[in-house]
Structure 1
């Protein structure tokens, strides 16, 4: 049984390749719109890069970018910071929940903790949510990704 374009936990990784519009909110702090690209790097890696405009709560607008490395896993993927040597951000193992494939992980960025979730929805979109708690950081970041339409 499949859920929309994701076609099962084993297929989600391959369906990420390409360009996505992103819309992010960081509660009470900022919002970002931009483009995210997953570019295939053989054999089982996707290089992730996002670029966009961030509007801070006070109205200031900034350009922003971020890069990660996604590696295929048997039921999901592992996300690495774009560093040399690569350092694991988190491992996501996907499970079916209703009409979505979902996974979650925790990352300690001492002294703060990132609780992250990925939800791949039946309409072909996906949402990444980071709840960050600790003495230095306290916020929720939620990003909606929609497949970018061809020009």
Structure 2
């Protein structure tokens, strides 16, 4: 039986390499899948986050994909250009990012640490999808 680790997360908890799988489901039923790794590395001001992997979409050639963010010591996440994205709730839970005209709602689930889930629900005039990511230590 797996014990649940319910303590609040701190930035150091994320350091290192993680396996990452992501399922993207659009409201029209189309789907995509991402498989790769996420790497948190200290950068003096927090941690640099880099995810790399293969993105597979229906009716398209699989492609290499990557995403970069900066995580601050208080679990604030920033885009590569320095703009604030959102704060990760240390104990898990919900956060929101507004990118006019789209709303990005996220839930962090740390109840099975060192595995965790991040589920985004994105809604806007031309967007409507769910993005479910599962992280686990390599």
Q: Secondary structure of 2:52's partner?
A: strand
Specify which of 29, 33, 38 is matched with residue 31 of structure 1: 33
State the partner residue of 1:103.
Answer: 93
Question: 1:104 offset after TM fit, Å?
Answer: 1.7
What's the TM-score once normalised by structure 2's chain length?
Answer: 0.87
Which gives a bigger RCO, structure 1 or 2 (Cα 8 Å, sep 6+)?
2
**1:26 and 1:124 mapped to 2: Cα distance?**
22
**1:79 and 1:115 mapped to 2: Cα distance?**
14
User: Is the 2:89–2:108 contact (alpha carbons within 8 Å) kept by the matching residues of 1?
Assistant: no
Cα RMSD after superposing both structures: 1.7
After the TM superposition, which parts of structure 1 deviate over 4 Å for at least 4 consecutive aligned residues? none
**1:125 and 1:12 mapped to 2: Cα distance?**
15
State the partner residue of 1:21.
Answer: 19
Question: 1:105 offset after TM fit, Å?
Answer: 1.0
User: Is the 1:111–1:136 contact (alpha carbons within 8 Å) kept by the matching residues of 2?
Assistant: no
**1:121 and 1:57 mapped to 2: Cα distance?**
32
Greater strand fraction, Structure 1 or Structure 2: 1
Pairs aligned (count): 132
Unaligned 5+ residue runs, structure 1?
96-101
**1:23 and 1:93 mapped to 2: Cα distance?**
21
State the partner residue of 2:52.
Answer: 51
Unaligned 5+ residue runs, structure 2?
none
Q: Secondary structure of 1:72's partner?
A: coil
Question: 1:3 offset after TM fit, Å?
Answer: 4.4
